[in-house]
Copies of this chain bind each other. A is one copy, B any other.
């Protein structure tokens, strides 16, 4: 799902030479680069990056003229685009992202919150002590609970019920969505570069997209993406105390029970059932119609139509047989 990002202001007229200077590469090329994007969504005038064979299929189809990579992948990348070779791909991406989006490292407090101006909304119910940022859009017949904070630029559809003590930032939410009490949606992901004295923060310019008919449980934390978005697909229901890290992509009609955790950048297909307290490691692909037993630890990709359980998760028949 591709949603326009109006949460972070983008610098325009960035030249390739500016970008390369930041990466300690001398070059006078004044070509204008439009944006930094992941392999999937980059267009011709964008810059992208490649640092794992896991994403080779995306590389082959990537439209970007320029791709940041390292020595190891240089030759591979050059078959498809112009390679900009650096030592540390992710650090370079962070630097370039900060160049395009100078405010992206501030995940701070929204200074523009105020009581809602009732006239700006059509048939929206607001609870007591609700705080609303600038340019917030909320569809008709939606309800916003007591003490809830909706930060600037957030979009919420019609017929939604947002509970009490909820915090929403950097998010676009569909129609007929329920977000239960004390959920926290859209804060930056847990991404940074460790450093002995003071860690370097990683810019997060992705958002959270929640599609129609979704239910998000109490005390959930759903982090926004770094470059791409965190997405919860249509009609997916999520129980209490679930954690969803940055860039995670969950398909339609999934059922995710309490205390499940997703590490960053994993994707989950449609109609997936996940039992309580299961954990999904980062950068994995869980197929469609998968069932994951409660308490499982998923550390590799799971093909379509599988039933798995265990830590590490394996075929459920094997798990049951081994534990008789």
| Contact A111 to B128, CB < 8 A, known contacts A218-B184, A255-B194 | no
Contact A276 B258 (CB under 8 A): no
Give the most central of A184, A192, A245, A253: most B CB within 10 Å: A184
**A7 interface residue (CB < 8 Å to B):** no
Contact A295 B279 (CB under 8 A): yes
- Among the stretches A30-38, A62-70, A96-104, A141-149, the one at the interface with B is A141-149
Contact B109 A127 (CB under 8 A): yes
Residues of B within 8 A of A312 (CB): 323
Contact A219 B217 (CB under 8 A): no
Contact B295 A297 (CB under 8 A): yes
Picked from B221, B245, B258, B311, the residue with its CB within 8 Å of the CB of A311 is B311
Contact B109 A161 (CB under 8 A): yes
Mark each residue of chain A from 100 to 144: 1 if its CB lies under 8 Å from any CB of chain B, else 0: 000000001101011000000000010111010000000000010
| Contact A146 to B131, CB < 8 A, known contacts A198-B235, A219-B221 | yes
Residues of B within 8 A of A265 (CB): none
Residues of B within 8 A of A192 (CB): 237
Question: Nearest residue in B to A311 (C-beta to C-beta)?
Answer: B295
Mark each residue of chain A from 277 to 290: 1 if its CB lies under 8 Å from any CB of chain B, else 0: 10101000000000
Question: Nearest residue in B to A239 (C-beta to C-beta)?
Answer: B190
Residues of B within 8 A of A180 (CB): 187
A residues apposed to B, CB below 8 Å: 108-109, 111, 113-114, 125, 127-129, 131, 143, 145-147, 149, 161, 163-165, 167, 176, 180-182, 184, 187, 190, 192, 194-199, 213, 215, 217-219, 221, 223, 235, 237, 239-241, 243, 245, 253, 255, 257-259, 261, 263, 275-277, 279, 281, 294-295, 297, 299, 310-312, 323
